[in-house]
Amino acid sequence: MNITNLTDDQKRIAIAEALGSKWIKDGFGEWHLRRPDQIAKFKPEWVKENSNPSPEEKEGFRAPRWVPDYVNDLNAMADASHTLSDDAFENYLGVLQSVCGIKPPHLWGVDGMLAIGRSTAHQQANAFLLSPR
């Protein structure tokens, strides 16, 4: 995923999607991003698997208020990272160290661990989006 041109709102949406949120198109043709626990409240004909707005339709879409501010909130990023499997979390930590500018051979040394501890929510959000799951 190329994240260099993504706005903070687009990053918030991408993380929400990675955590299971789905796009719903209502009866009026409007797109809504919904948490997994909200999907059951929609009419079945509105919920389609692999249904997503086109990039053009997403262009001006702002993240709903319920989507955490992942790029500025360390607690939200901690919650997101806790959803990762052990292997995915290890990949995430490696990418996070790279995002923080730590290069081998320091990845798993003191410098690497300090970089993780000092990382910003923005760096963690970028690493989350870049790391394979």
Q: Which of 82, 77, 79 is nearest to 99 (CA)?
A: 77
pLDDT by residue (tens digit) across 17-34? 999 888 887 777 778 888
User: What ranges make up the beta strands (E) of the chain?
Assistant: 22-25, 31-34
Residue 108: strand, helix, or coil: coil
pLDDT by residue (tens digit) across 57-109? 777 777 788 889 999 999 999 999 999 999 999 889 889 988 988 776 656 66
pLDDT above 80 (res 124): yes
Instruction: Please state the pTM of the whole predicted model.
Output: 0.82
Delimit the domains of the chain by residue range: 8-58, 74-130
pLDDT of residue 12: 93
